[in-house]
Amino acid sequence: MNKPEFYISAASTISHLPTFKNVGFSSVIGPLEANSVLITPDYKGYIEAGLLRRMSKILRMSVACANDCLEQAGVEQPDAIVVGTGLGCLQDTEKFLNTSQTIEGLLPPTAFIQSTHNTMAGQVSLTIGNHGYNMTHTQNTLSFEHAMLDAMMLLQEGDSHILVGAADEYIEILTEIMAQLAPGQDGPMTSGSSFFVLSKERNEQALAVVKDVATIGLVEDVQQNVGDFMADNALTIEDLDLILYAGKDNFPGNAVDYLALSGIYSTASAFALHYAVDVFQTDKKISNVLICNSLRKSNLGLMLVRAVEA
């Protein structure tokens, strides 16, 4: 049985590198430098000023990327909005934790309201007035892959265009926490957001083809699972033109550690997907790309994408 394929009709990323509205970024960016910062666009172009004022970093990134995507794809209302986030709205969570433990009496509610994991998907639906399916997946390092799987199922069930994305934000206390819990972790912790329009049919905007996505929680043998996944798609590792990986896996051939570009956050594999999409626009020799996400050793996320045939 042939597996259904889906089309990425738009992609948008805000990260520590010049990825936003910058087609071809994959050929010009290099590894993150120490002390890099989030590169943000002028949000006023994407978010109404009144809303913008109250929004945390993760909300700004998400709503801007989401709106940019819809504009690129020429889709006014997607059939659904599906978001993955590993740790959710940390800035507002910490803010409300702090005020609730230090202030007596009535507390300002905004940080609490915006602390729930579904705030990104909710805010996107609010800003565009979307009444469709609205979902938030949060399975630490596999949150984005799970969002993708959900979006692909929705297209199978009859939807046409899904807005699917991911976001995670860095807050300062994370540095202290990780120094305690995971001393010696290499690479900087960063913030990032990537959104995509995933479409059932190929259209003029098609940037890439999503062949398959898999998540393997509590994985035991990564190599075995990668092999099975490739076999499932009638391919071998040797058929791949590029492997984007996170973690300590060793791959033959043309392999790039995407964490060196994105920095470390739970949903950095969404950055990798946009990177792959961008590579297809700039390097016509690249056709098959595997994104292999072992950011957390016990979790394996796999995404197989290919270039759109001319």
Partner 1 sequence: MGVRVTGIGIVSAIGLTVGENLRALREGKSGIGPVRYLEGAKASLAGEVKMSNSELADELGLAAGPVSRTSLLGLKAAREAWGDNKRSGVIRTGIISATSVGGMDRSEVFYQDYLNKTNPDYDLLKTHDSGSTTERIAAELGISGYINTLSTACSSGANAIMLGARLILQGKLDRVLVGGSDALARFTIDGFRSLMIYDDQWCRPFDESRSGLNLGEGAAFLLLENTKSFALTGNRTLCEVSGWANAADAYHQTASSPEGKGATMAIENAIEKSGLNINDISYVNAHGTGTKNNDLSESVALKNVFGNRIPPFSSTKAFTGHTLAAAGAIEAVFSVLSIQNNLIYPNLNYKTAIEETGLVPVTRLESGNVVNAVLSNSFGFGGNNSSLVFTRHE
CA-based torsion, 138, 139, 142, 146: positive or negative:
negative
Q: What distance in Å separates the CA atoms of residue 261 and residue 278, rounded to the nearest whole number?
A: 14
Nearer to partner 1, 42 or 220 (CB): 220
Nearer to partner 1, 78 or 192 (CB): 78
Q: Taking Cα atoms as reference points, which of 219, 197, 195 lies closest to residue 207? A: 197
Closest CB 143 distance from partner 1, rounded Å? 8
Closest CB 10 distance from partner 1, rounded Å? 20
Q: Residue 107: how many CB atoms within 10 A of its CB?
A: 13
Structural contact between residues 194 and 12, judged by C-beta atoms closer than 8 angstroms: yes
Closest CB 218 distance from partner 1, rounded Å? 4
166 phi and psi angles, rounded to 5 deg? -150, 150
Nearer to partner 1, 8 or 216 (CB): 216
Cα radius of gyration rounded to whole Å, the chain: 19
- Which residues lie below 8 Å from residue 294, measured CB to CB, with a gap of 6+? 222, 245, 246, 247, 248, 249, 300, 301
Residue written as token pair 């390092």: 141
Nearer to partner 1, 23 or 179 (CB): 179
Closest CB 99 distance from partner 1, rounded Å? 8
Nearer to partner 1, 178 or 308 (CB): 178
Nearer to partner 1, 200 or 307 (CB): 200
CA-based torsion, 67, 72, 78, 84: positive or negative:
negative
Binding site for partner 1 (CB under 8 A): 81, 86-88, 94, 96-98, 100-102, 106-109, 112-119, 121-123, 125-126, 128-140, 142-143, 146, 150, 153, 156-157, 173, 177, 180-181, 215-220, 266, 298
Nearer to partner 1, 114 or 288 (CB): 114
Q: What distance in Å separates the CA atoms of residue 285 and residue 290, rounded to the nearest whole number?
A: 15
Closest CB 25 distance from partner 1, rounded Å? 30
Instruction: State the first-to-last Cα distance of the chain, in angstroms, to the nearest integer.
Output: 25
Closest CB 9 distance from partner 1, rounded Å? 21
Closest CB 17 distance from partner 1, rounded Å? 26
